Structure formats: C-alpha cells, structure tokens
Structure 1
Amino acid sequence: MKVATHIVFGECCLFAASAVFDFHYETPSVLAAAVCSVLPDADYPKSWLGHQLGGVSEDLYRLFGHRSFLHSLLALLLVTAALGPLLWWLTGQPATMIAVGVGYGSHLFADMMTLGGVQLFWPSRAIAVFPGRDEYRVVSGGNSERAFVALALAFALLFYPVSRVGFDGLIYRLGGADTLYGEVTKVTDGDTMTVEVQGRSTPVRLIGVDTPETVAPEQPIGCYGPEASAYTERTLQGRLVRLEIPRVGDSEDAYGRTLAYVWLDTDGDGEYERLFNEDLIEQGYARTTTFSHTYRREFERAREEAEAKGVGLWGACPFPTTAP
C-alpha cells in the first residue's frame, strides 16, 4: 500500500483507540502515529521510506525480505518498547507511547488485508491475511486501495471528534442541557455558590471540579482552599451567569445542590463564552473529578497543563491528588 494509505489508516486507528480506551492525545501523538505507520516499509527499497533510507533499506531487504520481520508482532513489540518510553520521556505525554504501538500495528493490519499478507508470527513463514477470501482483500495500487483510503478517511473524520470528547462526553452532548440565567448572590467556597434564578435562591455545585475544602464540617481547611474561595468570590459575586445543567445523569447532588457548569460573559456581547469550571482548573485552583460528564476530557487536558506548569495548588501544596 502507498504511504498516504498507511498514514490515513494509522490516524484512523489512533482516533478510534482514543475513543474506545479513553485516553487523550495531543499533536506529538498524532505525529508519532503517522511516522510509525510507515516504519515497517523500511525493509522495502522501492517504498517511499525505502528511498529515504537508501542502503539501509537494501540491507534490511537482503537480511529479512519484505513483509517478514519488520511486519511481525515481534517487531511491533520491539519498536513500541524502544520508541514508546523515549517519546513519553521527551514529550511528557504517555499517549505518545500508545501512538507508537497503534501506528506501527495499523501498518501490519493494513498489509494483512492485501493479497500478499504478512509474516505476522515471524520467524514462522506462515502468512497472515484478513479476511480469508482473496476477493475481499485490497489490491495495492488498485481501485480497492482507493476505496480503502476513502473508508479509512471517513472513519477518521468520524472518530476524531469522539476521540476528543470521549464517548461519555458525546452521550452528554447528545442528551442536551437546560439553560438558566441568574445572579450569583453568595459564594460558599471555591466550587459551591448560590445563584438567584427567577427570584429563587438555588445552591449550585460546579461539575467536574473539586477545590480544597474550607467550610466542610469536621474537616481542616485544605491547602489552597482559601485562595480558591477568594478567586471564586472575586470573579462571580454579584455577577450574571448562565447555568448549563445536563439532562443526562443527576441534576442534583446528595446535598440537594444543582449540578451545573457556570458560564461567564466576559466581553458583554451576550455569548457567555467563558466556562468558569475550566477556568478554576487552568488557574490551579481546582483538581478534576473522575466521574463522567460533558467536558471531562477537556478538563483533564487543562489539569495536566496546570500540573505541568506547577500553577496554583500544584506548586503550593504537597502531593495533590485527583479527586474521586
């Protein structure tokens, strides 16, 4: 198959794996999957990669032949074990190690779908193919490969948005949300407040975030709790906000507080574009919770960035942990 085919299929597999196995990735992982999706063709001098490698590719071809060792499960394990931890160390992102395995493995699976197959269990000379009947497999360079690329591209475009928000986030988005507007009349602590909605005082608990405790009975004041409470009060007190209340799942917690996302209109145009829940995480005032909700993956990405920068509680508190 052509190099473009392998890259498209590799990215499709990365997006699908992220959606199914619930890990998030950034640009380094996308690049790692693309590069590793063409690595097995290092043993074929006529391939695009073979031309780049020159004599190295010819030596590999003489030693192993095409679609043998470099197209085997053994090579997949060795490459993932060698490159994966290195990229994780260089980028600080564990998803890059997963991307190495997914990208390399996608090439093997794609070549299994051609007429020639691969020696997947090298050094055994047995040829692995999928599916079993020749007429259902891809002919390299033919119309069937073009159809395969089109199908892989369609699936990549389908899986990409799901991989960014997760299946749980997609379900919450499809379920919709109720919208209410009100004024914040009281801030209890960093993640709890009272909002007056249509003349009724409504206690609100922010979804997906957990600021250190400051008012919990019989609990000590948490590290960076006063700072978080002060930030929330300074930002929200007396301000008009938009409450986003998901229709999927519980609308109230065990204490009868409305579970919501709080949106702010920062420039006065009525758009309410700033999500305060996420703002708390980005500024290092809150940890994330682990239960499913609409913006869980976005919040986790923000938390990782804040933790890496050491902002807020991540730099001030000893060994903060993710909230349950």
Structure 2
Amino acid sequence: MTGKTHLIGGLALSATVAQFTSYDPLALMVSGAVGGLLPDICHSGSKIGRRFPLLSKTVNTLFGHRTFTHSLLFLCIVGFLMNKFVPVEAITIGLLSGMISHFVLDSFTRNGIKFLYPLNITVRFPFTVRTGGSIEKLLGSALAILVVYFIIEMIWIDY
C-alpha cells in the first residue's frame, strides 16, 4: 500500500475509535496518522523512511521489509514504551490503532506481512490488491469519506 493509503487508514481507524470512546479525537487522529506510517520505517523509500533515513536504513539492514516492524512483537513493544513514557493514553491508543490499520492494509498485498515475527509465517488475505492500483485508490477514497463523515459528526455533536 502507498503512504497515502496508510495515512488515511490510520486516520480512519483512530476516528472510528474516537466515536466509541471518550478520548480526545484530535490526539487520537494525529497519533493514528503517525501510527499508520510508522511500520514502514523499515523501507527507506516510504514517507517516514525518507524523513528518518539513517534509522530506516538501520532497521532495514537488521530486519528487512515487512518483518519486525509489521509484527505483533513490534506492536507490543511500541505499546509498552508508549505506556511507560507517554502520559496521554489517547496518543498511545491512536498510535497503536494506526499501526493496526497499517498491518491490515499490508495484509491485502501479495507479499503480506510477517505478523508473527520472528516466525517466518506470511500473513495475507486470500485476495490481494496491487499497490497503487485502482482498487487501492478506491479503498483510500472510501476511508477518506469515512474520516470526513466522522469529523462532521464530531463537529455536529459539539453544537
């Protein structure tokens, strides 16, 4: 999936979480957007990889792409560190929501993800989507509409 789709996926899932919790929606959605991009730190050509090139190259050299940073182990480590060092629970929940959306979206690609890393088991859906293809664009558009809907609903409820 492209960075745009991961960004909107992180926003969409965190906006959904905001609908069903009392967490600050802005904190959830901003951290959800970051979480939607974070797992691709292992890819130097990704949006986040270009932002942190040295870290990206180091992570890629150590683990490769779509392994450790796309795993339940990474999700748990990030969750533990966030709970330990970030006092705002909404930021932690948003970041983890964004990461989960990233994992789900990449599971729709032909290469899938190594969700159970370090086990060498590829997780992917039975039907896949070509990165940057028309189905991905359609999915990204649907997720964007969902985000806009939730934002309008949040604003409407406040008035």
Q: 1:127 and 1:150 mapped to 2: Cα distance?
A: 27
Q: Is the 8 A contact 1:84 1:98 kept in 2?
A: no
Shift of residue 46, structure 1, vs aligned partner: 1.9
Equivalences for 1:187-202 in 2 at 5 Å?
none
TM-score by length of 2: 0.88
Structure 2: 5+ residue stretches without partners: none
Structure 1 residue 42: Cα displacement: 0.7
> Which protein shows a greater Rg?
1
| 2:67 counterpart letter in structure 1 | S
- Please state if 1:157 is matched with 2:148: yes
Deviation at 1:125, TM superposition (A): 1.1
TM-fit CA distance, 1:127:
0.8
Q: Structure 1 stretches (4+) deviating beyond 4 angstroms?
A: none
Counterpart in the other structure of 1:107:
102
Deviation at 1:28, TM superposition (A): 2.8
Where relative contact order (Cα < 8 A, 6+ residues apart) is larger, the structure is 2
Ranges in structure 1 where 5+ consecutive residues have no aligned partner: 171-294, 299-324
Aligned residue in 1 for 2:131: 140
Contact 2:13–2:97 (8 Å) recurs in 1: yes
RMSD (CA atoms):
2.1
Counterpart residue identity of residue 6, structure 1: H
Is this contact kept in 2: 1:67–1:118, CA < 8 A? Answer: yes
**What corresponds to 2:7 in structure 1?**
7
Higher strand proportion (structure 1 or 2)? 1
TM-score when scaled to structure 1?
Answer: 0.45
Structure 2 partner of 1:97? 92
User: Alpha carbons of 1:108 and 1:8: their partners in 2 closer, same or farther (altered >3 Å)?
Assistant: same
Q: Describe the superposition over 1:15-34 as per-residue Cα deviations: whole angstroms up to 9, x where unpaired.
A: 11222x33332433322111
The alpha-carbon distance between structure 1 residues 84 and 38, as it changes in their structure 2 partners (threshold 3 A), is farther
CA gap 1:29/1:85 in 2 versus in 1, 3 angstroms: farther
Deviations along 1:257-302, one digit per CA (max 9) or x if unpaired, are xxxxxxxxxxxxxxxxxxxxxxxxxxxxxxxxxxxxxx7xx5xxxx
Q: Sequence identity of aligned pairs in percent?
A: 25
Q: Tell me, in whole angstroms, the C-alpha distance in 2 between the residues paired with 1:85 and 1:9.
A: 26
In 1, Cα distance between the equivalents of 2:102 and 2:117?
16
Aligned counterparts of 2:18 and 2:119: Cα–Cα separation in 1: 32
